[in-house]
Chains A and B, each alone.
Chain A
Amino acid sequence: MSYFDIYLKYKDLPFVDIFSALTDYDVESAIESNRQGIKQLLTLISPQAENHLEPMAQKAHVKTLNNFGKTIQLYTPMYLSNYCQNQCAYCGFNSQNDLPRKKLSLKEVEEEAKLISSTGLDHILILTGESPGDSPLSYIKDCIKVLNKYFSSISIEIYALSEDEYAQLIREGIDGLTIYQETYDREIYDRVHKAGPKKDYLFRLDAPERAAEQGIRCINIGALLGLADWRKDIFFTALHAQYLQDKFTEVEMGISIPRLRPHQGHFKVANYINTRNMAQIITALRIFMPRLGIILSTRESSQLRDSLLPLGITRMSAGSSTAVGGRIMGSEDGSNLHQFDISDNRSVDEIKVMLATRGYQPVLKDWMHI
């Protein structure tokens, strides 16, 4: 049994017909229901529910407060390497893109770690492109050894690994895995992942499960919103999260909601997600899974991040750079090495002040090596 079986079961649902049959009463019932299932999820993400965003937001806000309190956990990404064999149409690290390639030396990892740590951040997410020659598992392990000295929690957002490889990294000290399926639509997945190991849809789909089998503490999944019909991708992301939570009850599940942004590959966004859609996605996810971590990154503008905050967000990145060595090189040298553009360029201190102003406690540390 894999999540793929569940995907197959629902992939041909007549979404359009289901949505068009929904009434206002169905939406109101779904918002209030204590038994959140497939029907409620479909209702909450439907076009019909767009007329009910305020009651959805009110419900989502209360559920978030009761489950997470007035706190937001902060983390920051650190890019280790942008060498990549994949040809993802939407990504700046695409192997066909003519951009300077760089991999941090362990000394540079330590320098960058010191800079990040000095801002007070204590949770770090490390990222690499997929290139066994340039960023093999042994290199990731060496980086984790360095980072363990500076951070209470280390998560990875790297290429999909085997179960044994996840076990090795967990032993080394990581506690979180972020891996996006990008889109659950297999045809679109195949089209936008033109070449490289990432073309293997199933190996990626089952990656969170392999990490969970080895005892990873936190799993964060997501779809890159804009690649396909967002309602379907959010539906399958939410079902994926529920499947993992049911099977691995001890795991802290999270969903990120990255929206496609301008980038180097000049990829045309087919299904743009507007602000109302973002609000609907966050509130629907919160009502569907009250204990779900919901993550909003610096891809989004400061104004939008601040506005979406009370609808259900529990984690935010701060002081981000999407360039390899972006912090130690400064913006000029690092400006053409990045994966995607950042919209929210506020410093960690500025984010902390914003949170305090809005009545939220920034949580810098929420785990430790035990």
Chain B
Amino acid sequence: MSDQLIIGGKQINNRLFIGTGKFSSYALMRDALEAAKPDVVTVSLRRVDIGSKTDNILDYIPKNCIVMPNTSGARTADEAVRIARLARVSGSSNWIKIEVIQDNKYLLPDNLETLKATEILVKEGFIVLPYISPDLSMARRLADAGASAVMPLGSPIGSNRGVKTRELIEILVREIKIPVIVDAGLGRPSQACECMEIGCAAVLVNTAIAVSADPVNTAQAFVEGVRAGRRVYLAGITEDENQARASSPLTGFLRDNES
């Protein structure tokens, strides 16, 4: 069965992306990553101490992972662009997850600034994955601008509330040609599974794994949830039969009036 996800020319086998903030230690983060074997991990550049000889977060990420820095802390397109350029200099990769947040209460993204940063960074040769509020027009513009995927939020970062934006994400999945990766708000493997069942290409999870009492097992459970959701999406899931049927036939008149 061929079920390939290619982003930025790389084949992604594990559709669970993992974020590296919020873990109680780098060692525990490494254990969780080694157990879950993600192909893509995100790192906040603001946390990377490029010159540090000890305690460099990048040393705790398995070598075969694609390290996707994010622009956490950027309040404008201009700041995101500057952080992305610093990330490239740090040598992690030319992938960048654009986060532009002007709202520190809910950490909801600024889609317009995100688009501006995407336009600039794509031209500079970055593989750009923007974090967005799910919006069809914006997702189309981002795809036209050359984004390699869109990363709509399921619910606010760290909320563990699941795919509250499901209706909007389903529209993106149907309409957008580039991969749709749900980022933020997934608190349980069942919620990650739900994203995959509705056809998302991948999910990104951080808080739920990092702050769990057992990040290693939680990370593996998310892998299984993602795998199950993808599998049943490919198999073709039976639609819910959740509406009552009319008690008498609605087309009975057709027979009665045959002539």
- The yes or no answer to A3 lying at the interface (CB within 8 A) is no
B23 / chain A contacts, CB cutoff of 8 Å = 69-71, 361
Nearest-neighbor residue (CB-CB) of B48 within chain A: A365
Asked if B104 and A363 sit within 8 Å, CB to CB, the answer is no
Asked if B107 and A291 sit within 8 Å, CB to CB, the answer is yes
Nearest-neighbor residue (CB-CB) of A215 within chain B: B75
A68 / chain B contacts, CB cutoff of 8 Å = 22
Asked if A368 and B24 sit within 8 Å, CB to CB, the answer is no
Asked if B104 and A250 sit within 8 Å, CB to CB, the answer is yes
- The yes or no answer to A132 lying at the interface (CB within 8 A) is no
Asked if B79 and A252 sit within 8 Å, CB to CB, the answer is no
Asked if A370 and B22 sit within 8 Å, CB to CB, the answer is no
Asked if B22 and A253 sit within 8 Å, CB to CB, the answer is no
Q: CB-CB contacts of A348-367 with B at 8 A, as 1s and 0s? A: 00000000100111011111
Known contacts A66-B207, A291-B105: A367-B46 contact under CB 8 Å: yes
- The yes or no answer to A136 lying at the interface (CB within 8 A) is no
- The yes or no answer to B83 lying at the interface (CB within 8 A) is yes
A360 / chain B contacts, CB cutoff of 8 Å = 24
The SS class assigned to the A binding surface is: loop
- Number of A residues, CB within 8 Å of B: 29
Asked if A249 and B104 sit within 8 Å, CB to CB, the answer is yes
- The yes or no answer to A65 lying at the interface (CB within 8 A) is yes
B210 / chain A contacts, CB cutoff of 8 Å = 69-70
Asked if B22 and A70 sit within 8 Å, CB to CB, the answer is yes
Asked if A66 and B21 sit within 8 Å, CB to CB, the answer is no
| Residues of B156-187 contacting chain A, CB below 8 A | 158-160
- The yes or no answer to A55 lying at the interface (CB within 8 A) is no
Q: How far is the CA of A122 from the CA of B48 in the complex (A)?
A: 12
- Checking B21, B55, B82, B207 against A370 with a beta-carbon cut-off of 8 angstroms, the contacting residue is B82
- Checking B22, B82, B105 against A249 with a beta-carbon cut-off of 8 angstroms, the contacting residue is B105
Asked if A120 and B104 sit within 8 Å, CB to CB, the answer is no
- The yes or no answer to A251 lying at the interface (CB within 8 A) is yes
Asked if B49 and A365 sit within 8 Å, CB to CB, the answer is yes
| Residues of A237-280 contacting chain B, CB below 8 A | 245, 249-253
A69 / chain B contacts, CB cutoff of 8 Å = 21-24, 207, 210-211
Q: How far is the CA of A250 from the CA of B101 in the complex (A)?
A: 7
- Checking B21, B46, B207, B211 against A365 with a beta-carbon cut-off of 8 angstroms, the contacting residue is B46
Asked if B86 and A368 sit within 8 Å, CB to CB, the answer is yes
Q: How far is the CA of A70 from the CA of B215 in the complex (A)?
A: 12
19 A-B pairs (CB sep. < 8 Å): A65-B22, A66-B207, A69-B23, A69-B24, A71-B21, A71-B22, A245-B105, A249-B102, A250-B75, A250-B101, A250-B102, A250-B104, A251-B104, A291-B107, A359-B24, A364-B55, A366-B46, A368-B45, A368-B46
A-binding residues in B (CB < 8 A): 21-26, 45-49, 52, 54-55, 73, 75, 79, 82-83, 86, 101-105, 107, 158-160, 207, 210-211
